[in-house]
Chain A
Amino acid sequence: MKALCWEGVNELSVEQVPDPPILNAQDAILKVLASSVCGADLHLIDGYMPGMRDGDILGHEFLGEVVEVGPGVRGLTVGQRVVVASPIGCGGCWYCQHGAWSLCDNSNPTVGMAEKMWGHSPAAVFAYSHVLGGFAGSHAEYVRVPFADHNAFRVPEALPSDSAVFASDSVPTGWLAADLCGIVGGDVVAVWGAGAVGQMAARSATLMGAGRVIVIDRFDYRLAAARENLGVETLDYTEVDVLEALNEITAGRGPDRCIEAVGMEAHEPGLGYAYDRVKQALRMHTDRPSAIRQAILACRKGGTVSMVGSFAGAVDKFPLGAFMNKALTLRTGQQPGQHYIPHLLQRMAAGEIKPGYLNTHPLPLEDGPRGYDLFKNKRDACLRAVFHPSAFHPAAA
């Protein structure tokens, strides 16, 4: 089959690779119908996340048609259209049993690196380096889904694949961001980052009863997309002083809930050589302020900061003083998609969440490298590029 592979820092290519076999009894194989790029992929592509190997197949946000199931799969049958959560849950450990699927004890077969870096290993994530399992990704004609009964969800017929694909990661991550905030009626919520996750976090905050939602970014077209599709307010941080603007909007209080949906600008993957690379990259990005730092400074006293951007290592100059003296709560995590997706698909089917507009660039898989170029360099008003390795033919199913 064809697959989009990482071939080294900033090198992507479409390669001919073997089809994925069933490796465990609870596996399913999907024919991939839609597979989205994600901002977190950029950390892999740029070499900020350790544990990538040449030839790794990328892609962790996807939807497909079941074409084969292992003997241990009970609830799925060939021909069904399913969307798959990006983190992989086993379904049986204490974490999965308590809804904390992204902390699964058992899905990561290569826990050693994560334990060295982070103390313990969270759940594996599709195509998110060998630190998180080294699972082959979905930018391919076929993909293997482990523990398929727990990780794949049937998509309501009315939902088109190009919209439903975002139930895999962007929508549940946005929902998590707002959920962690503990929003109560009338709260002012500020969201850093107008990428797909920030947009979905803003929508989720509105649905949870926020009084005002303000999205912060520097790309006009992304802010415009948020205003037009979500009816939220926006701030361009290259034009205004964000702290002043937020204080003005809230008459000096600061936003009650602050959501960071940007990801690692500053991080230390725990290895000396990688740290140097990061520092180098930081100098290249000095025009971008650290979103999490600003969120902490902006947040009202006693407020909540929720962080859903991806980080891998350590950050410098974390404002612990502001965090402590303002009595803030910081909550974070990878999305427990399995906990949210069934409910979110219902909301999507009901039209309460309409992520279809995020897919600005539907592309064939062969255009993978170009898709990432458009996405990474914010060309052609790209919010997301979504690849279509195969077409869906329900009649044939």
Chain B
Amino acid sequence: MNGRTGLRMAAGAAAGVAVLAGVRAIRAAAHGPNGAHAAHAPGGARAAHDGGRRTYTRSITIYRSPREVYEFWRNLTTLALAVERVLQVEPLDDTRSRWVIDGPANTEIVFTADIVTDEPAEVLAWRAEDSPVPHEGRVEFAEAPGARGTEVRVWLSYEPPVGGLGAAVARLTGDEPDQLLREGLRRVKQVLECGEVIRVEGQPSGRGRLAERITELVDHRVAAGGRS
């Protein structure tokens, strides 16, 4: 996309925030998490259980200016570097964008994200009401003291679908919303600070295929970090 269109797209990219937090949560939620999540929600994230609604907050410090971090979030091209599983995203107008996400079992999740607050270098908030998992979110950018960069705080709230077997699978594979949120924050931090998300899957080892797969699953489970 060219510069002008790029800006327009970026303007529609509150969905980017949704991708970071909400969408990944949606994908996980589409596995069918049940109430057990909220009951055992990690202490570091203030997870509330309000009539079945889930709310998560997570934060990370990124060694870049608030302006730079904000702009990264607003730009679909850069955001795509940090986010997995987005099949397609298109701007609908200045505040709305349409997202297609790779769902579980080869399904596609389609929804529209609508920016409700946009204060450059300070805050972005969005809402997605036509989603299979309606959600809203907010991300704040604050200058960290001592020239440490930017403190990024994400707040995410959604209505999980009716629970099911998928929840256990999601937890096992690490596809649960809070972990996805922490993982997403780390990915954005890495892309902004050092240009890529470091990988270890695919390295050589003396393990057989099955043992290697198990190792990758365990590594993935501990990939996210963040207080839990």
Residues of A within 8 A of B (CB): 1, 3, 5, 7, 13, 15, 17-21, 23-26, 53-57, 72, 90-94, 96-97, 105-107, 109-113, 115, 121, 124, 130, 133-136, 140, 144, 146-147
Contacts and interface: CB of A to CB of B under 8 A. Distances in A.
B222 A91 contact: no
Given A92-B63, A92-B195, A3 B204 contact: yes
A5 B204 CA distance: 11
Contact of A112 (B189, B190, B221): B221
A112 B206 CA distance: 24
26 contacts: A3-B206, A5-B205, A25-B195, A53-B211, A53-B215, A54-B207, A55-B206, A55-B208, A55-B215, A56-B205, A57-B204, A90-B193, A90-B198, A91-B194, A92-B63, A92-B193, A93-B194, A106-B193, A106-B194, A109-B198, A109-B200, A111-B223, A134-B203, A135-B203, A136-B203, A136-B205
Contact of B190 (A15, A96, A106): A106
Chain B interface extent, by class: 35 or more
B132 interface: no
Contacts of B193: 90, 92-93, 105-106
Contact of B222 (A56, A106, A111, A147): A111
Nearest to B146: A94
Interface string B139-162: 000000000110000000000000
B108 interface: no
Given A111-B222, A111-B225, A90 B194 contact: yes
Given A7-B206, A20-B203, 14 more contacts: A5-B205, A24-B199, A26-B194, A53-B207, A55-B205, A57-B204, A72-B195, A90-B198, A92-B194, A93-B194, A94-B63, A106-B190, A106-B194, A130-B222
A314 to B, nearest CB: 20
Contacts of B225: 111-112, 115, 121
B200 A135 contact: yes
B194 A20 contact: no
A23 B200 CA distance: 7
A216 to B, nearest CB: 38
Contacts of A56: 205-206
Nearest to B60: A105
Given A94-B63, A134-B215, A109 B207 contact: no
A53 to B, nearest CB: 5
Nearest to B218: A130
Contacts of B223: 109-112
A17 B204 contact: yes
A144 B219 CA distance: 18
